[in-house]
Structure 1
Amino acid sequence: MKWTNCFSNKRFGVDFKNRGPRTEYERDYDRLIFSSAFRRLQNKTQVFPLPKDIFVHNRLTHSLEVVSVGRSLGKIVGSELYKLPEINENEEARKFYRNHLKNVIGSACLAHDMGNPAFGHSGENAISKYFNEREDDDEFRKLFSDEQWEDLTNFEGNANALRLLTKQLNNRLEGGYRLTYSTLVSILKYPCESLAVNEKKGKHRSKFGFFNDDIDTFKKIAKEVNLIKEQDKPLVYSRHPFVYLVEAADDICYNIIDFEDAHRLGILTTKEVESNFLNLIKLNKDEDIDNIKRTLKILKKDPNEKIAYLRAKAINFLTIEASKVFIKNRDLIIKGEYKSSLIKDIKEAQPIIKKIKNTSIKKLYNHYSVVKIELAGFNIMSGLIEDFVEALLINKDDRKKRHHKILSLIPEQYRFNEKQSTYSKIMCVLDFMSGMTDLFALQLYKNIKGIEIPRI
């Protein structure tokens, strides 16, 4: 892999190029932002339940903010890489890094959470639980290969994002969203199959990035952008350079903005959040701290605006520093030998970031409102997966009327063919379930269980 051959404006699933005023990378962004899957993120919880009287982030607003940071990272890094002799001497590469890298990172940031099911990690855990609890059922277990079983017992939203963007659904066009290979590879934080997961082998193997059903899709992407293969069995590749920028944008946003949300909800005090943000900002040698203090005095009667101001400054600092880390480690990154993360390698900021993370775990992510929605989401998704999988496992001729009715609730684009393997059928059901919003999953659960009669 080289800086001059690690990108491609070819589209997955199609051989032709569009013509018009927009670049291929701008088209990626537009396709994603107008998609139904992206709109559904507005009803998927980020961390906190969505209160009626106070605005906090959902998956959609989080994704848009990650885009803003990611685009900045792409622009800064692209401007620096553009100066490298090997890039400057290559016209296509020169144009890409100067003009298009920021758009690729922006599009990938839009898509990075699109594969998450309703209720986030609780939804993932609920799907996995159903299959884990049947591990001792030998007849059931024999229906799946080791790779397929690992997929199902460790359902992964990151792998599902790739599937969502590339799978040809019933009555839909080949290639899914038909995004460029550059955008698709930028979301592959974990370029390995499920059997290769081993956190001790590196962060890129702490989870998996594609299901066994989508392995050919992954291989096509890897080949097009010259991804570096580490081993064949189980299949593992090194991360693509652009992944580090998308990951950094996500890390920056959820660390900083979750803190701001907790302040708005009264979980953290103004003093506590202000102190942590200021300590980060003070690390920026180019920042005028006296001017910041004057601004804080002006905003002292509006705590939310004060914290919003500091949040912006903190994000700006981390964005600039993450860019510097990328450029500093560019040779390791392009060789596939960089095994850390950009945020982790902002060394001077680590004590403060760790304090923010520890406070978040203690006071935010274990807050009673968060725990309640996690438990509720887990039970809702558990109930749904049990009903749908139970119905599909029964031979068509042996299904009772209620089984047929359950399966009839699956939209046409997700319906399976009876001749498909059990694994493929289940993946079709998971395609449907992972696309649900929190509210849709809740309502469907209540209707199916007879808790609430649906209105016509």
Structure 2
Amino acid sequence: MKWETIFTTQRVGHNKVSQEPRSGFQQDFDRLVFSSAFRRLQNKTQVFPLPGSTFVHNRLTHSLEVASVGRSLGSIVGKKISEEIADKSSDSYEFYRYELANVIAAGCLAHDIGNPAFGHSGEKAISAYFVDNAGVVFDGKPLQEHFTEKEWADICKFEGNANAFRLLTRTFKGRLQAGVGLTFTTIASILKYPCEATAMDKKFKHRKKYGFFQAEKDVLVNIAEKLGMIREGGDDVCFKRHPFVYLVEAADDICYRIIDLEDAHRLGILPHQLVKDSLFTVISRLGREGADVNRMEEIYNKIGDQNEKISFLRARAINILTQTAAEVFLENKEAILSGNFNDTLLDNIDDRTGAFDELLKLSIEKIYNHESVLEIEIAGYNVMSELLGLFVPAVLAAKPGHKQMKIRKLFPMQYSGFEDTDNAYEKVMNVLDTISGMTDLYATEFYRKLKGIEIPQHR
């Protein structure tokens, strides 16, 4: 890969170059903000149950904050790269100086857009449904036999990252061409795992999960080849990460590692002193010039409100982590460009400083395994499983019964492509499109109505 050729204004499904005053990358940001998939993130769980009496982060507020951090990362890195470009009139100079920040911000907005209701619990529920029912006979043969090996890997290892790529690039029935119609560059910035499900290998950061379904394989290959991404050998489709992925990933990592603490404090799950000490530990261990811990403590002590004290420390920690992550990217930019950086920016920081050792243990023990979190995960798991149990048999039935015909009519028009195909994989993907697109609240209400727990009222 080369810095000069890893970006383009070409859009998925479009060849026309925009003549608007906004750059193509600014348009990407705006298109995402106004998309219905992004809007639905406001009612998708980040960590804690929604809604609550105390306002905490949902997927939408998280994504907006990640975009803010991502814009800063893109600006710092872009400025440094532009200074190394000799021709100040070139497209490369203009892009890195003024546009990389827009790309990373847009990528950050999109990074969670494929997450189903109830977050990772929803992902696990979808995967488990197919694993648990692999041998159950559907329309004359076991469920697994309806699919190829690669198709089966997609649905029994359902992945929100791959679902995001599908949402952003696919032409759904009755909708505009090519999803949201983003530039190849912005799409590439969210491809943390640019490989198919059968290529997963946890020894490598870029293959820890997978990033696209079989249905979108050709689109992925087209984008990767256009941007010069490095293809790995073997029978499976797998590419090295695009360099911009590391910045989007770092912005996400910075936000969730720090802000989950703030939410836990607001909810009274973690005591004030423990959160204060944890944030000061992160700040002090990074040991950055200008990170005057004593001065910060003076300011902290002048603040009267407990929540505001933690907000102050959260802001300082995010600022220092952002600067440090940008430096790590620049220090390793040649390894990143050549596909030889088998690490993340935040893990690299942690390996050198131990900044997150205690923080991660605290988060796992006290936050992610808190009773309120476990309750919503279990409830979400059950809701998603039950909905799949209604929808999958309905679309796979060659001769659907009365109930199954009624269920088929509940599909939104854009996800009713199963009516036009005999392919079981395409039918089931329409089910996953429908269910993964639901918000937590909608999925719960839908489940209650279909199970007869709550009788729908006439409209």
Instruction: Provide the TM-score with structure 2 as the length reference.
Output: 0.96
Q: Does residue 322 of structure 1 match 2:325?
A: yes
Deviation at 1:428, TM superposition (A): 1.0
1:342 aligns with 2:341: no
Q: CA, structure 1 residues 134+347, in 2 after alignment: closer, same or farther (shift >3 Å)?
A: closer
Whether contact under 8 Å (2:349, 2:355) holds in the other structure is no
1:232 is displaced (CA, Å) by 4.1
**1:140 aligns to what?**
143
Cα displacement (A) at 1:349: 6.5
Answer yes or no: is 1:21 the counterpart of 2:21. Answer: yes
Q: Indicate how the Cα distance of structure 1 residues 228 and 297 shifts in structure 2: closer, same or farther if over 3 A, else same.
A: same
Alpha-carbon offset, residue 376 of structure 1? 0.2
Alignment of 1:232-243 (within 5 A): 232-243=234-245
CA distance in 2, matches of 1:369, 1:320: 34
TM-score (norm 1): 0.97
How far does the alpha carbon of each residue in 1:153-179 deviate from its partner, in whole angstroms, 9 at most, with x for none? 100000000000011011112211110
Q: CA deviation at 1:285?
A: 2.1
Does residue 251 (structure 1) correspond to residue 253 (structure 2)? The answer is: yes
Task: From the superposition, tell whether residues 329 and 90 of structure 1 become closer, same or farther in structure 2 (CA, over 3 Å).
Answer: farther
Which residue number corresponds to residue 448 of structure 1? 450
- 1:35 corresponds in structure 2 to 35
2:381 & 2:343 partners in 1: Cα distance? Answer: 32
- 2:94 maps to 95
Shift of 1:280: 2.0
Q: CA deviation at 1:47?
A: 0.2
Letter aligned with residue 358 of structure 1:
K
Which secondary structure state, in structure 1, belongs to the residue aligned with residue 342 of structure 2? coil
1:229 counterpart residue number: 231
1:124 aligned onto 2:116: no
Match of 1:304 in 2: 307
SS of structure 2 residue aligned to 1:241: coil
Q: Which moved more, 1:177-186 or 1:89-98?
A: 89-98
**Residue pair 2:122, 2:381 contacting (<8 A) in 1 also:** yes
Shift of 1:147: 0.3
Partner amino acid for 2:200? V
Q: CA shift at 1:50, angstroms?
A: 2.3
1:376-414 deviation line (CA, Å, top 9, x unaligned)? 00000000011000111111xx21111111111101111
Where in structure 2 are there 5+ consecutive unaligned residues? none
Please state if 1:44 is matched with 2:26. no
Which residue type is aligned with residue 178 of structure 2? G
CA RMSD of aligned residues (A): 1.3
For structure 1, which segment, 225-234 or 54-63, has the greater mean C-alpha deviation from structure 2 after superposition?
225-234
Over residues 122-165 of structure 1, what are the superposed CA-to-partner deviations in whole Å (9 max), with x where a residue is unaligned? Answer: 11111111110123346322211100000011000000000000
In the TM superposition, 1:147-162 aligns within 5 A as: 147-162=150-165
1:257-293 per-residue CA deviation (whole Å, 9 max, x = no partner) reads: 0011001111111111111111222222212333312
- Letter aligned with residue 387 of structure 1: L
Match of 1:260 in 2: 262
* Residue of structure 2 in register with 1:112 after alignment: 111
- What SS does the corresponding residue of 2:232 show, helix, strand or coil? strand
1:107 counterpart letter in structure 2: A
User: 1:259, 1:360 within 8 Å by CA — same for their partners in 2?
Assistant: yes
* More off after superposition, 363-372 vs 229-238: 229-238
How far the C-alpha of 1:418 sits from its partner, in A, is 4.1
Is the contact between residue 350 and residue 357 of structure 2 (CA under 8 Å) also seen in structure 1?
A: no
CA contact (8 A) 1:344 1:350 kept: no
C-alpha contact 1:82 1:88 (8 A) present in aligned 2: no
Secondary structure at 1:236's aligned position in 2?
coil
SS of aligned partner of 2:48: coil
Aligned mate of 2:393, from 390, 394, 399: 390
**Quick check: 1:4–1:90 contact (8 Å CA) kept in 2?**
no
Contact in 1 for aligned 2:383/2:447 (Cα 8 Å): yes
Does the 8 Å CA contact 1:276/1:352 hold for their aligned counterparts? no
1:340-368 deviation per Cα after TM superposition (whole angstroms, max 9, x unaligned): 01011115764231211110000000000
Which one of 294, 298, 301 corresponds to residue 298 of structure 2? 294
Contact 1:164 1:176 in 2 (8 A): yes
Contact 2:134 2:142 in 1 (8 A): no
Q: State the AA in 1 paired with 2:298.
A: R
Asked whether the equivalents of residues 117 and 438 of structure 2 are also in contact (C-alpha less than 8 Å), the reply is yes
Aligned match of 1:401:
402
* Cα distance in structure 1, aligned partners of 2:376 and 2:294: 42
**AA aligned opposite 1:198:** D
The 3 A distance-change label for structure 1 pair 427 and 348 is: closer
Q: Partners in 2 of 1:22 and 1:160 — Cα distance?
A: 28
In structure 1, how many angstroms separate the alpha carbons of the residues matched to 2:233 and 2:64? 35
Matching of residue 412 in structure 1 with residue 416 in structure 2: no
Q: How many pairs were matched up?
A: 451
Correspondence for 1:439:
441
State the match for 1:359 in structure 2: 362
Residue type at the aligned position of 1:12: V
Report the residue type matching 1:237 in the other structure.
Answer: F
The residue number in structure 2 matching 1:214 is: 216
Partner secondary structure for residue 352 of structure 1: coil
Q: Which runs of 5+ in 1 are unaligned?
A: none
Q: 2:6 is matched with which residue?
A: 6
Residues 21-30 or 285-294, more deviating = 285-294
Deviation at 1:233, TM superposition (A): 1.2
Name the residue aligned to 1:82. 82
Query: Matched residue of 2:355: which SS?
Result: helix
Within 5 A, what are the aligned runs for 1:48-87?
48-85=48-85
Instruction: Note closer, same or farther for the CA distance 1:88–1:325 as it changes in structure 2 (3 Å cut).
Output: farther
